[in-house]
Structures are given as structure tokens and as C-alpha cells.
């Protein structure tokens, strides 16, 4: 009788270890699947991120500062300039006239009283400085601010 009890308990133990093996394999496959989904989802989010760059070339023509940041739909050159000045702790003073045109008074040491004017370029095409609050930017745009 003692021999029969051992064979019965051995059979029950074998079944429970078989179930445990299946459960462990299912958990392992689930973890691998979850990891793959996380990687794919992260890459998809990264591809959807919209960015633009802003370069300040003031003074002797050297690249003095460069910023790269996320943009949102409808963002203007002016809004990108404000965001970059805040992120880079750059002094920016501006005003609007009665026709809602922008005038940059000071930017990173440049002051309006100097003989040079600030010129804005969007993807190497010169844009009218007064209208930077009306010109929208899109993914991978490059804004340059130069003193000329």
C-alpha cells in the first residue's frame, strides 16, 4: 500500500509541475510580447514628434546659439523664438505695433539701436521680420536669426 501512495503522489506532483512549466512559458512569452510592443510603440511616438531648430548667428557671424525643440501644429517663427529664448535663458525684448507687426528690441545682446538689423531666415529663405508672428513652421524647419 505504501508503494501505491507514492506512485499516486508522484503522478500528482508530475501534473502540477507540468502545469507550472506551461504557466511559466506563457508568462515568459507574454513578457517578451509586452517588451516588443513597448519598443514598437516608443519608436512610433518618436517618429511622430515634430521638431524644428533655431540658430542665432549674431555679431561676427559665428554660430552663437542653437536650439532644437518640439513644435506643435500652427506654431509660428515668433513662438519658436520665444520658446528658445526661455529654454536658453536668452534676453528677448519685443513689441507689436498697431498693425500687429513684430519689432525685436533686444535678442542675446543685440539691440535695435545698433546699425545692423536682425534678419530671419526659414530654411535658408529670408522672411520679413515684422511677420514672424504670422509665419508657421513645420517639422524639420530651420530658423536662422542673423544680424545684417
Residue 125, CA distances (Å) to 89, 106, 121 in order: 27, 23, 5
More confident residue, 61 or 129: 129
Are residues 35 and 63 both part of a single domain?
Answer: no
The answer to whether the pTM exceeds 0.85 is: no
Same domain assignment for residues 36 and 60: no
For the stretch 15-40, what's the b/e string if a residue is b when 16 or more beta carbons lie within 10 angstroms of its beta carbon?
eeeeeeeeeeeeeeeeeeeeeeeeee
The answer to whether residues 119 and 66 belong to one domain is: yes
For the stretch 3-47, pLDDT in tens is: 455 555 555 556 666 677 788 888 888 888 888 777 766 655 555
If asked whether residues 77 and 40 sit together in one domain, one would say no
| Residues 40 and 69 reside in one and the same domain | no
Phi-psi region of 100 (alpha: psi -120 to 50; beta: other; left: phi over 0): left
Q: How far is residue 87's CA from residue 70's CA, in Å, rounded to a whole number?
A: 12
Same domain for 115 and 64: yes
User: For position 129, what pLDDT does the model report?
Assistant: 92
User: Into how many domains does the chain fold?
Assistant: 2
What was the pLDDT predicted at 127? Answer: 97
**What's the domain range around 104?**
51-147
In this structure, what is the dihedral angle of CA atoms 138, 139, 141, 145, given to the nearest 10 degrees? 70
Residues 6+ apart with CB under 8 A from 148: 116, 117, 118, 119
List own/partner pairs for 30-33 with CB under 8 A and 24 or more apart. none
Amino acid at each position: 500500500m505504501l508503494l501505491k501512495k507514492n506512485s499516486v503522489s508522484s503522478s500528482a506532483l508530475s501534473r502540477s509541475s507540468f502545469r507550472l512549466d506551461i504557466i511559466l512559458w506563457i508568462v515568459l512569452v507574454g513578457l517578451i510580447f509586452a517588451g516588443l510592443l513597448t519598443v514598437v510603440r516608443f519608436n512610433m511616438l518618436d517618429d511622430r514628434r515634430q521638431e524644428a531648430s533655431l540658430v542665432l548667428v549674431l555679431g561676427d557671424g559665428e554660430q552663437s546659439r542653437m536650439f532644437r525643440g518640439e513644435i506643435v501644429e500652427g506654431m509660428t517663427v515668433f513662438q519658436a523664438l520665444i520658446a528658445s529664448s526661455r529654454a536658453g535663458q536668452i534676453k528677448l525684448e519685443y513689441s507689436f505695433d498697431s498693425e500687429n507687426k513684430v519689432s525685436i528690441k533686444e535678442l542675446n545682446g543685440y539691440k535695435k539701436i545698433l546699425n545692423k538689423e536682425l534678419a530671419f531666415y526659414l530654411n535658408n529663405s529670408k522672411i520679413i521680420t515684422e511677420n514672424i508672428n504670422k509665419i508657421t513652421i513645420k517639422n524639420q524647419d530651420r530658423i536662422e536669426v542673423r544680424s545684417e
